[in-house]
Chain A
Amino acid sequence: MNAKLENKIAKAGLWLIGFFILALLAAFLGYILYQGLPVLSFHFIFGKSSDIMAGGGVGGQLFNSFYMLFLSMAVSIPVAIGAGIYLAEYARENKMTKAIRLSVESLATVPSIVLGLFGMIIFVNKMHLGFSILGGALTLVLLNLPMLVRVTEESIRTVPRSYEEASLALGATKLQTIFKVVLPSAMPGIITGITLTAGRALGETAILIFTAGTTVSRFLYDTDVMAGGETLAVHLWYLLSAGLVPDRDQIANGIGALLILTILVFNFLLVLPLKYFQRHSVGSR
């Protein structure tokens, strides 16, 4: 076979694979949005849910999703950035750091249901938090941490060594160098990592069923961290497996569409400032 023909066939093959994946994605998204969008209304998105009667909303669940995401991120981001800085900048290559890295990687591959059961034993039972927003948020931290630590470490490692040398040669201390030069340069990578992690946490169910529970506070938008912490994704699972409301299929469809839309909006909200940030600090070439 001549090389030109080979090239054409390979190109067509790759194009087909790409098209297939895009089509698959489009079909999924299209189906979910087609089923779910008609259900969405102001009352559905922000209203109170109902246990027996039709016509309930998902306001409490939506609020819980973001509230728990916020709480878990507030704990995991500082810890992960600290650990990432330590691993990338201070740790020497020895058995200790290898062990830390190995544990982080193993933790990242633990199935979320295992983390959920672990969280239930530690936070819900031993620490008597019960099925609560706090219990769920703390368990989510376990899910977020490994990925965030890795992303931070890797983003910091990609910062050119020459920036660091230049800063140290000007008489800056190691700490000043990290906070004024290294971290700002690593920020785009870290923010991307945070977005991905947050997206995953927003859609998480297995962890939360056993730690945050399948109930929601009877007050809408309840900031009490000991209240029941059912999230959107958990509500979806719960409705379809044990829901009593007659319109549960519509609500489930609506939640599907709403989840996709929130993740979309959420990514935009995080990515737009990032673009702004890049333009202004790193600058265009």
Chain B
Amino acid sequence: MKMNVENLNLFYGEHQALFDVGLEVPEHKVVALIGPSGCGKSTFLRTLNRMNDLIDGVRVEGDIKLDGEDIYAPETDLVQLRKRVGMVFQRPNPFPMSIYDNVAYGCRVHGLKDKKKLDEIVEKSLRGAALWDEVKDRLNASAMGMSGGQQQRLCIARVMAVEPEVVLMDEPCSALDPISTMKIEELVTEIKKDFTIVMVTHNMQQAARVSDFTAFFLNGKLIEHDKTDVIFTKPHDKKTEDYITGRFG
């Protein structure tokens, strides 16, 4: 298992947002997290690279292991952890810099200065994110001038550039049109051979199309998780079935 979560409880101050969640993330697979809004799936995702640390008053209990090491252990190096567990956000959030600088950002903050090496990484990452052919002639143009779909693929390239092991995606297509969404989905299927992916999605079809495993969250509890085709054809829990067939949510 690439990542292993056990007995995870999370509190925003007094309010408990996650209850006793346990989930395994196998290497080179795509795990989809589904569930109605406010069910805690995004909160859960953000515990995996400790982005919740940025919010005041968040308390986390339980075990989250990456390759068997507890990421909430006091000796954990946050910089190192976030390098290994990258994240793509709901809204495309490129920096207001050139396309090149966006992709090179991660490597530069980790101390890489060699121009040739950076060029290589930028090209490789943009190719990896299926963006190279569209932008190779305007690498120095601002990333803010790209379309939403391109921006999101740029954000994926930016994450790929630091060569993480796990990529977390928080509803990466919710702000995109159908064609851009399709491109991102193809991309996810393509890059899972190099990365392990955990993806939050609101779109049931998307979960069915791209994921190998699906986990269903409801009111801060993980109701069940299994292979995607099992969840979508014969779920074990009545609530999962109701949600998937659109009876609520």
Contact = CB atoms under 8 A, between A and B. Distances in A.
Which of A166, A173, A181 has the most chain B CB within a 10 Å cutoff? A166
Given A180-B105, A284-B142, A169 B82 contact: yes
Interface string A247-285: 000000000000000000000000000000000011111
B144 A169 contact: no
Given A282-B142, A284-B145, A285-B145, A169 B49 contact: yes
A165 B110 contact: no
Contacts of A165: 51, 54, 89, 93
Contact of B159 (A162, A170, A184): A170
B95 A163 contact: yes
Given A170-B162, A172-B109, A283 B145 contact: yes
A169 B109 contact: no
A92 B82 CA distance: 24
A283 B96 contact: yes
A185 interface: yes
Contacts of B239: none
Contacts of A180: 105, 108-109
Given A162-B89, A165-B54, A165-B89, A171 B142 contact: no
Given A170-B158, A283-B142, A285-B144, A185 B96 contact: yes
B89 A282 contact: no
A283 B141 contact: yes
Interface string A178-191: 00110011000000
A172 B81 CA distance: 11
Nearest to A176: B109
Contacts of A285: 144-145
A170 B51 contact: no
Contacts of B98: 283
B143 A92 contact: no
A168 B143 contact: no
A168 B51 contact: yes
A90 to B, nearest CB: 12
Interface in B79-117: 79-83, 86-87, 89, 91, 93-98, 105-106, 108-110
B79 A171 contact: yes
A176 B96 CA distance: 16
Contacts, number: 82
B7 to A, nearest CB: 25
Interface size class of B (residues with CB under 8 A): 20 to 34
A18 B162 CA distance: 55
Contacts of B162: 170-171
Contacts of A168: 51, 54, 82
Which of A168, A169, A172, A281 has the most chain B CB within a 10 Å cutoff? A169
A285 B146 CA distance: 8
Contacts of B81: 171
B56 interface: yes
B117 to A, nearest CB: 17
A160 B93 contact: yes
A281 B97 contact: yes
Interface in B50-89: 51, 54, 56, 78-83, 86-87, 89
Which of B49, B56, B80, B82 has the most chain A CB within a 10 Å cutoff? B82
A173 B141 contact: no
Nearest to B53: A168
A170 B159 CA distance: 7
Interface string A78-102: 0000000000000010000000000
A167 interface: yes
Contacts of A170: 82-83, 86, 105-106, 109, 158-159, 162
Interface string A12-23: 000000000000
17 contacts: A92-B56, A162-B91, A163-B93, A165-B51, A168-B82, A169-B87, A169-B159, A170-B83, A171-B80, A171-B106, A171-B109, A171-B110, A180-B108, A181-B95, A281-B142, A283-B96, A283-B142
Given A160-B93, A167-B109, A172-B105, 17 more contacts: A162-B89, A162-B93, A163-B95, A166-B155, A169-B87, A169-B159, A170-B106, A170-B109, A171-B81, A171-B82, A173-B109, A180-B108, A181-B95, A281-B96, A281-B97, A282-B96, A285-B145
